[in-house]
Amino acid sequence: MRAPDFWKKDDRTLSRMLMPLAWCYGLGGRLRRFLAHPVKAGVPVLCVGNFVAGGAGKTPVALSLGKYLIGRGRKVHYLSRGYGGRVAGPFKVDPDVHNAAEVGDESLLLAAVAPTWISRDRAAGVHAAAGGADLIIMDDGFQNPTVEKDLSLLVVDGRYGFGNGRVIPAGPLRETIALAIERADALIVIGPDKAHVMSHPALWKTRLPVLKASVKPGPEAKELTAATVVAFAGIGNPEKFFKTLQDVGCKVKATHAYADHHPYTEKEIERLKEEAETGGAKLVTTEKDAMRLSDEALAGILVLPISLEWADEKSLDDLLQPFLGG
């Protein structure tokens, strides 16, 4: 699904109508945490989560942390729920064999960096992923109480922030900001803080470490500078991708936003290619979207990968120091 527009701003009428459901949703989360008996994996578990439903940037953070830790000699395994895939798991992803319809697009991105397991049952997943690993990085799962986490990181998009500040379905929050902060070990703000995240009252009293990072386009961006493009994306926040294209100097002729994990049909891709060709433009998409396309469908489509650039790597090193080993 795509996030409704009223989640982005304070539309009092719609939000107030949905507040009784939001209270029930929040109560259900609290009750689930109260009744849970979290399992311990046997190796440290680093959880990358967020406050809101949608694309805050969890997977780019998980990828960046994995590369960072691997570069320091750690044996990292990833655990994902496998959103968009049909396999329930626990199941080890083989990027040479499996596709996004089976294991989800994010799992394929993670598997390109380190061994990756998917499991809708997170408790069973950490036990499966622990074999041969020094530590596990969970992509999402902050609100899942069935696993004991050794480090919980909350990612927030500096441009979007907390939306209208209300809990699902009245707003985008998975739980109240105050409750989430109680269980977090650090906050990661991606991009400029245009939503004034750090000015939110719930953060005034916290002493959580705050790390800042920015999205850095891959070298493929050089091919797109000054190019006329038609862009499409089925991610949590497609507008972030479209803004990145503008930032690298693209002339964005048209944009097409789809729901996160959208399974593209042949006809949809054909129409997009025809539109780009007719307009004398290049067709471009995200690396995550490319995971959901066949080699044939990808022909003629430019893919722009992104990575994270940390504002202060020493702060990152200090945060991860307990997991770097002897």
Backbone phi, psi, residue 283, to 5°: -95, 125
What are the domain boundaries of the chain?
A: 34-215+309-323, 219-304
Residue 77, pLDDT score: 97
Residue 326, pLDDT score: 58
CA angle 52, 101, 306 (to 5 degrees): 55
Q: What is the pLDDT along the chain (326 residues), one digit of tens a residue?
A: 566 777 777 666 777 888 899 999 899 999 998 898 999 999 999 999 998 887 788 999 999 999 999 999 999 999 998 888 898 879 999 999 999 999 999 999 999 999 999 999 999 999 999 999 999 999 998 999 999 999 999 999 998 889 888 999 988 999 999 999 999 999 999 999 988 888 888 887 778 899 999 989 988 898 888 899 999 999 988 988 999 999 999 999 999 999 889 999 999 999 999 999 999 999 999 999 999 999 999 999 999 999 999 999 899 999 999 998 75
The fold of 34-215+309-323 is Rossmann fold (3.40.50)
pTM here is 0.91
Pairing of strands 135-139, 76-80: parallel
d(CA 283, CA 233): 11
Is the CB of residue 45 less than 8 Å from the CB of residue 139?
no
**219-304 shares the fold of 34-215+309-323:** yes
Give the position of tokens 């990808």.
298
Give the position of tokens 């396999």.
87
- Looking at domain 219-304, its CATH class is alpha beta
